[in-house]
Amino acid sequence: GAGVSQSPSNKVTEKGKDVELRCDPISGHTALYWYRQSLGQGLEFLIYFQGNSAPDKSGLPSDRFSAERTGGSVSTLTIQRTQQEDSAVYLCASSLGQGGTEAFFGQGTRLTVV
């Protein structure tokens, strides 16, 4: 596709369940970011992947959160034992990395934990 694609666009889950959020970055983009955004709030950095380097996980809020990027392309953000405070929009972005300044965002996944 032409842009960053995220799925699902909306997810409602019960408290305590695990969820997986998917991000398909733009082809050829080596950098991939995950952010979380609560309603009316700013962007909270979660994790950053750059090529084959070890990911920067410094933004993950707890060990219930993890992310993978397989084959340098698709990424999955997993939240285990979801809590109500996990409810937010999860945004993925990708960029060219080397020499590229612009990060392109997906439309996000709106997660609601009930």
Partner 1 sequence: GESVGLHLPTLSVQEGDNSIINCAYSNSASDYFIWYKQESGKGPQFIIDIRSNMDKRQGQRVTVLLNKTVKHLSLQIAATQPGDSAVYFCAENINQKVTFGTGTKLQVIP
- Name the site residues for partner 1 (rule: CB under 8 A): 4, 31, 33, 35, 38, 40-45, 48, 50, 56, 91, 93, 95, 97-108
Residue 98 token pair: 């080397």
Q: In the bound complex, what is the minimum distance in angstroms from residue 59's beta carbon to partner 1?
A: 10
Nearer of residues 28 and 45 to partner 1, judged by Cβ: 45
For 60-102, the DSSP string reads: --STTEEEEEGGGS-EEEEE-S--GGG-EEEEEEEE--TT--P
Smallest distance from partner 1 to CB 16, Å? 26
Q: Record the tokens describing residue 68, joined without a space.
A: 């993978």
10's enclosing H/E stretch is strand 10-13
- Nearer of residues 86 and 106 to partner 1, judged by Cβ: 106
C-beta of 38: minimal distance to partner 1 in Å?
7
